[in-house]
Amino acid sequence: MSETVKKFLYVNRKAPYGTIYALEALEVVLIGAAFDQDVSMAFLDDGVFQLVKGQSTDGIGVKNFSPTFRALGDYEVTKLFVEQESLDERGLTADDLQEITYEDEDDDWEEKPSIRIVSRSEMSDVMADQDVVLSF
């Protein structure tokens, strides 16, 4: 759709369901995928809660949108950076998070994890490497 390829980072720092930011951020990412940009997502602070597995929303009457994260690979959004310190502060480990994978077309379609757990310092580096940063 466009000649220019920029590095886009979508920054998620809020928990799901209490506010709409997590859901509407995901909607931007999915629509944005059509523009063939170099997309990454960052999950830090309360944003790490968005990726926790086992979400069940029947009791609150809102749509459970967590399965949508697993579709990101099909949209070629394969870089989900999750901050270690944010997990630690919240008593979470990698095991608490959903399994989100993509098929690497450059490696015989091997299934690989999209979630990359990084340190705070590495997250800073990721942020500093972007052309466009969208915060929700």
Site for other proteins in 22-41 (CB under 8 A): 24, 27-28, 31-32, 34-35, 37
CA–CA dist 123, 136 (Å, integer): 17
Examine residue 109 and tell whether it contacts other proteins (CB under 8 A).
no
Distance in Å, CB of 9 to other proteins, minimum: 8
**136 vs 45: CA distance, rounded Å:** 13
Identify the CA nearest to 8 among candidates 87, 62, 76, 60: 76
Q: Is the dihedral of CA 16, 20, 23, 25 positive or negative?
A: negative
**Contact region for other proteins (CB under 8 A) — 8-16, 54-62, 92-100, 101-109?**
8-16
Asked if residue 13 binds other proteins (CB under 8 A), the reply is: yes
- Between 51 and 123, CB nearer to other proteins: 123
